[in-house]
Amino acid sequence: MTKYFSKQSIFRLVIMMVICLLLWIFIQTNQYQIVSMAIAVIACFPIYYKYEKKELNTKELVLIAVLTTTAVLGRVLFYMIPAITPMTAIIIIVGICMGSEIGFLVGSLSAITSNMLFGQGPWTPFQMLSWGIIGFIAGVPLIQKILKKNYWFLIIYGIFAGIFFSFFMDIWTVFSLDRQFSWVRYLALLGTALPYTISYCFANAFFSCLLFRTIQKKLQRILIKYDINKGG
């Protein structure tokens, strides 16, 4: 069998089969909360795996760490104001300036790192995935170009990011209540969270416009000075 498949390929196939079996067992026992957490973790895996396979230099790793720390500080400094934080805006800007992969990495790492202060829990994989997706989409080449053109596009994307994060995290909230998904409860939660969703949207739009040019110029200087290639 190893003639046609490498040992690594066989190992990955076995792992995926085990994961699928476990997910099937949890579904059969109505453990939808565990299934949803597992899906969120699995969804993050491809980006981490792909990036881990790249030839990285110390400068690039340090830059990712600094960007993650900056995003985390944005959340920490504004923790007293509910739903107002520049963290999402910083993740968006990183995605625009550095590409999808680094945007996803900074977004997901910022979630798990900041939760060391705010509290880890079963919601962490959902936050990692949601902030990672926000950073990833901002780094898609076509969207990159659009967002760089005009502050109005930044505002629109900031609003989208606020709505997406709120809607996505409310899925976790529904599962956390009774381990099953209910559209009635989900829609009720969306209505209850509306003031916070509006705050998310405002904060993302405001801080994206406020910080974009400054962070963009700093990153351009760093990339040129230390000869770092932007992620794809």
Tell me which residue of 101, 121, 111, 89 sits closest to 211, measured CA to CA: 89
Highest mean pLDDT range out of 14-18, 52-56, 107-111? Answer: 107-111
More confident residue, 166 or 28: 166
What's the rounded mean pLDDT across residues 134-153? 92
What pLDDT is stored for residue 5 in this prediction?
44
The DSSP output letter for 150 is: -
What pLDDT is stored for residue 2 in this prediction?
43
Rounded Cα distance between 205 and 161, Å, is 9
What pLDDT is stored for residue 15 in this prediction?
52
What pLDDT is stored for residue 91 in this prediction?
96
Q: Is the pLDDT of residue 201 over 90?
A: yes
Q: Is the pLDDT of residue 1 over 50?
A: no
Give the SS3 label for residue 31: coil
What's the rounded mean pLDDT across residues 202-210? 95
What's the rounded mean pLDDT across residues 39-52? 61
What pLDDT is stored for residue 4 in this prediction?
42
What pLDDT is stored for residue 176 in this prediction?
74
Rounded Cα distance between 145 and 143, Å, is 5
What's the rounded mean pLDDT across residues 8-26? 53
Give the SS3 label for residue 110: helix
